[in-house]
């Protein structure tokens, strides 16, 4: 799969720009009286024995629609249920949110996890508390994926994907030129010191590509994931900020400032879109990138990448690299009776867990095998067919596949932030503030203080 297809996947999800910026609709939901999720009351439902009396409405973003439609067709044939799959173009999260708010029928859709607390509070999405296979599905999920999918004690969906956001990738060609091949850093401090050595050696003018792109899912996510990896406390489980101007987060931003002023990162990184980021690393010449695991196949595609065969994940050696990124299949809540909800659960199970008829991970395996969209289940990612497919493009698969597995299954998830009603509002603010620390427009201490103050204001604004 080429670089363009990979870029479009995240673009369609609404992660490559300020598409979903906690606008009036979402803020109204956050401030409204809590209704709870629609499915949280009642006994577990049972698997339907017949098809739905009316078509099910499925909404997706515009990534691989033909691939998804083929799976929809298979479901329709197997279960005698018509499914209207519609692709939402443009600003997917906001459009889906409007459909839910207007009580339009949404039987299943994609969602990222950082909006679910607000959507749950507004009563727009049903939880999976009454899903007949909930316990089995939760047991098979990677623990951190299960935590990411569980909001206020309620399972809010079944995994669509799970990958490492900010996985540290290395260009072996550049490291070889610098005399550092195989000498991977164990910490960010070692990484930054090594970047200086690489620049001094002449092997690379800009040795490091950090995830500082311009988006709420850009530099703020880069900040959160690096703090997580360094074990710098940011937010308690209830959202209370654990950092201030005396925090180690200040020193971290001071290091970022040094990277920028010393020219160790691309000059325009703070204005990069996600497409600029992906293309810059694919052109070659950069030793390390805090990248997205999902991009690995495209980086090894000789038709679209100059670094094919040269990019490898660096191992965890006491410190993580990056954080967990999860997408879910969710079910709209408004106007659902038990019969309709059971039909929705079955559709979600088919796509996000095991086909009820075959009792196999049929659709998740297809995503992992054919698109390298890693899943929230170890049994899928470890399947021989998935390993065989990845081994065709990944250098030294016997060495690097275990690194990928270890990185994903031990990835940290920022639950204390992402499961707050105001998470998106804070991330949007952070996207404006963090670049100031990098460029010197504000001191790191001032920026960290401002980030804490904003979190405190939002906690007060959206307190129960």
Tens of pLDDT along 68-118? 999 999 999 999 999 999 999 988 999 999 999 999 999 999 999 999 999
pLDDT digits (tens, 9 = 90+) for 276-313: 999 999 999 999 999 999 999 999 999 999 999 999 99
Residue 84 phi/psi, 5-degree rounding, is -90, 100
DSSP string, 265-317: S-TTGGG--HHHHHHHHHTS--SEEEEEGGGHHHHT-TTT-S-TTTEEEPPPS
User: Which band of pLDDT confidence, cut at 50, 70 and 90, is reported for residue 9?
Assistant: low
Residue 151 phi/psi, 5-degree rounding, is -115, 125
For residue 157, the model assigns a pLDDT of 99
For residue 51, the model assigns a pLDDT of 95
- Of the chain, the end-to-end C-alpha distance in Å amounts to 46
* Structure tokens belonging to residue 463: 């307190």
pLDDT at 52 over 60: yes
For residue 32, the model assigns a pLDDT of 44
pLDDT at 6 over 80: no
Cβ of 80: how many Cβ atoms within 10 Å? 10
Rounded Cα–Cα distance for residues 315 and 402 (Å): 9
For residue 41, the model assigns a pLDDT of 76
Q: Determine the average pLDDT of the residues in 147-158.
A: 98
Rounded Cα–Cα distance for residues 37 and 375 (Å): 25
Distance of CA 265 to CAs 169, 277, 285, Å? Answer: 15, 12, 12
pTM value is 0.93
Rounded Cα–Cα distance for residues 182 and 253 (Å): 28
Nearest to 310 by CA among 320, 301, 300: 300
Rounded Cα–Cα distance for residues 227 and 223 (Å): 6
Nearest to 351 by CA among 163, 71, 58, 52: 71
Mean predicted lDDT score pLDDT of the chain: 93
pLDDT digits (tens, 9 = 90+) for 220-231: 999 999 999 999
Rounded Cα–Cα distance for residues 286 and 266 (Å): 9
Rounded Cα–Cα distance for residues 74 and 76 (Å): 5
Rounded Cα–Cα distance for residues 220 and 429 (Å): 9
Rounded Cα–Cα distance for residues 356 and 47 (Å): 8
Q: Decide: helix, strand or coil at residue 208.
A: strand
- Give the rounded percent of residues in the chain with a pLDDT score beyond 70: 91
- Parse the chain into domains and list their residue ranges: 3-163+324-405, 165-323+413-461
Between 3.40.190.10, 3.40.630.40, 3.30.70.2860, 3.20.20.70, what CATH number should domain 165-323+413-461 receive?
3.40.190.10
DSSP bridge pairs for 332: 125
pLDDT at 12 over 70: no
Q: Name the region of 64 (left: φ>0; alpha: ψ -120 to 50; beta: rest).
A: left
DSSP state of 90: S
Q: Determine the average pLDDT of the residues in 440-453.
A: 99
User: Which band of pLDDT confidence, cut at 50, 70 and 90, is reported for residue 27?
Assistant: very low
More confident residue, 40 or 182: 182
If one looks up domain 3-163+324-405 in CATH, what number appears?
Answer: 3.40.190.10
Q: Determine the average pLDDT of the residues in 212-238.
A: 97
Q: Would 3-163+324-405 and 165-323+413-461 be classified into the same CATH topology? A: yes
Rounded Cα–Cα distance for residues 367 and 382 (Å): 13
User: Which band of pLDDT confidence, cut at 50, 70 and 90, is reported for residue 19?
Assistant: very low
Q: Determine the average pLDDT of the residues in 15-42.
A: 48
* Structure tokens belonging to residue 120: 């749950």
For residue 334, the model assigns a pLDDT of 78
User: Which band of pLDDT confidence, cut at 50, 70 and 90, is reported for residue 24?
Assistant: very low
Distance of CA 233 to CAs 344, 412, 414, 452, 458, Å? Answer: 39, 13, 10, 12, 18
Rounded Cα–Cα distance for residues 345 and 354 (Å): 12
Sequence length of the chain is 464
Rounded Cα–Cα distance for residues 462 and 363 (Å): 38
For residue 22, the model assigns a pLDDT of 39
């Amino acid at each position: 799969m080429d670089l363009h297809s990979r870029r479009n996947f995240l673009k369609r999800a609404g992660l490559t720009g300020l598409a979903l910026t906690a606008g009036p609709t979402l803020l109204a939901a956050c401030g409204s009286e809590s209704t709870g999720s629609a499915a949280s009351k009642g006994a577990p439902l049972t698997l339907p024995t017949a098809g739905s009396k009316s078509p099910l409405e499925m909404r997706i973003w515009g990534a691989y629609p033909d691939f998804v439609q083929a799976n929809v067709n298979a479901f329709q044939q197997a279960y005698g249920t018509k499914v209207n799959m519609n692709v939402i173009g443009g600003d997917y999260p906001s459009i889906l949110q409007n459909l839910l708010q207007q009580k339009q029928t949404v039987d299943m859709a994609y969602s990222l996890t950082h909006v679910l607390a607000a959507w749950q509070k507004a009563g727009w999405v049903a939880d999976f508390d009454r899903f007949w296979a909930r316990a089995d599905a939760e047991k098979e999920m990677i623990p951190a994926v299960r935590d990411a999918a569980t909001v206020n004690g309620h399972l809010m969906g079944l995994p669509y994907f799970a990958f490492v956001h900010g996985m540290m990738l290395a260009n072996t060609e550049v490291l070889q030129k610098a005399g550092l091949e195989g000498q991977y850093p164990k910490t960010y401090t070692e990484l930054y010191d090594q970047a200086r050595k690489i620049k001094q050696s002449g092997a690379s003018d800009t040795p490091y590509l950090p995830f500082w792109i311009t988006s709420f899912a850009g530099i703020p996510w880069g900040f959160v994931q690096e703090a997580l990896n360094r074990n710098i406390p940011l937010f308690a489980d209830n959202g209370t900020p654990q950092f201030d101007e005396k925090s180690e987060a200040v020193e971290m931003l001071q290091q970022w400032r040094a990277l920028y002023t010393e020219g160790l990162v691309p000059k325009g990184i703070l204005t990069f879109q996600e497409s600029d980021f992906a293309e810059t690393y694919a052109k070659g010449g950069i030793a390390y990138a805090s990248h997205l695991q999902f991009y690995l196949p495209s980086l090894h595609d000789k038709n679209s990448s100059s670094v094919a065969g040269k990019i490898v994940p660096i191992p965890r050696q006491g410190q993580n690299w990056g954080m967990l990124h999860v997408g879910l299949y969710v079910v709209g809540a408004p106007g659902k009776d038990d019969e309709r909800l059971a039909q929705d659960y079955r559709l979600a199970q088919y796509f996000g867990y095991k086909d009820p008829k075959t009792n196999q991970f049929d659709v998740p395996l297809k995503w992992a095998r054919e698109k390298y969209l890693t899943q929230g289940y170890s049994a899928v990612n470890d399947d021989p067919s998935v390993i065989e497919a990845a081994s065709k493009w990944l250098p030294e698969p016997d060495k690097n596949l275990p690194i990928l597995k270890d990185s994903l299954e031990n990835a940290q998830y920022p639950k204390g932030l992402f499961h707050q009603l105001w998470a998106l509002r804070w991330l949007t603010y952070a996207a404006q503030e963090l670049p100031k620390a990098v460029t010197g427009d504000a001191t790191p201490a001032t920026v960290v203080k401002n980030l804490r103050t904003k979190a405190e204001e939002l906690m007060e604004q959206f307190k129960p």
